[in-house]
Amino acid sequence: MNQISPRDATRAANYVLAQLNYTRAGGGKPAVYMYERPAGVPPIEERNEPHQVAIHSARPLIETLSLDLQGFELAHGVSAVRDFDDEAELKRIYDREVADLVVAKTGARRALVFDHTVRRIGGDDSSAARRAPVHVVHNDYTNWSGPQRVRDLLPEKDAERALKRRFAIVNVWRSINGPVVDTPLAFADARTVDAADWLATDLKYPGRTGEVYRVAFNPEHRWFYVPNLREDEILLLKTFDSAKDGRARYMPHTAFADPATRPGTEKRASIESRVLAFW
């Protein structure tokens, strides 16, 4: 009689059980140093709190996903970029591809690509740790840092004009080395997240402090991922929306260790672009 391994059983059930790193609520405001903590500066407790959760395949729901409803959706398209490590090529080709995609998917008047991050696991690059996948449940922007990003990027008059209308920040995420099997990205349905779950967290940089949301555990959270995400499949994740009319405004996400990943699987490489969408 054939034996079915736990790995294969969870695959067949269209979900995996995996550990996600939440942040414990309570106490002072969490903070994370994005550089080596200066001598004499006391450490700040990050309050990581791991929980095992079911992460469901989003593939059966692809046609029903929406940035405004769940906070994420899947698009398709082949990039003309040949070398994702070539910053000039990214600016010349990929920026336009990504901006056009966001406009098409959101109906925004225009889109501004302001950041790319290529993430790899391991490697000899001295920045590898900084660009490694993030294994903490988070959202990139908060009620404060979303508008602040507009002020940081646009001239003062243009920023104030833009802030009077609806704007959003969308992360555009794709694999750059074949199907993602190792360390995929998990994302939660925004409708299952309570306002009390968001924990504003300082990001300490030399000379400035940013702010993101970390997330407190809630058993109501419903998690998804796209198994074997291909290079021609593109994830769009909404990380901020100024509209307060019931649509998704933020969306928790994190890299995770898929227990179904077999030894020797090729390590994930991906690119994520951050995009301001203006209406």
Q: How many CB atoms lie within 10 A of CB 196?
A: 9
pLDDT band with cut points at 50, 70 and 90 for residue 129: very low
If one counts every other C-beta atom within 10 angstroms of the C-beta of residue 76, the result is 10
Neighbours of 121 (CB within 10 A): 16
- Could you give the C-alpha distances from 16 to 20, 55, 260, 268, in angstroms and in order? 12, 5, 7, 18
What's the average model confidence in pLDDT over 91-112?
A: 98
Tell me which H or E stretch contains 117: strand 110-120
Which whole-number Å values give the CA distances from 120 to 131, 176, 200, 272, in the listed order? 7, 10, 27, 11
Q: For the chain, count helices (H), then strands (E).
A: 5, 14
Domains in the chain: boundaries = 15-278
Closest-CA residue to 134 (of 256, 9, 17, 265) = 256
Amino acid at 30: P
Residue pLDDT, tens place only, 192-222: 999 999 999 999 888 888 999 999 999 999 9
Encode pLDDT of 25-76 as tens digits.
988 888 888 888 777 777 666 789 999 999 999 999 999 999 999 999 999 9
Tell me which residue of 156, 31, 168 sits closest to 105, measured CA to CA: 168
For the segment 8-27, what is each residue's pLDDT rounded down to a tens digit? 434 546 999 999 999 999 88
DSSP-derived 3-state class of residue 115: strand
Confidence grade of residue 82 (pLDDT, cut at 50, 70, 90): very high
Q: Provide the whole-model pTM.
A: 0.91
One-letter amino acid identity for 246? Answer: G
Burial class (CB in 10 A: 0-12, 13-18, 19+), 116: middle
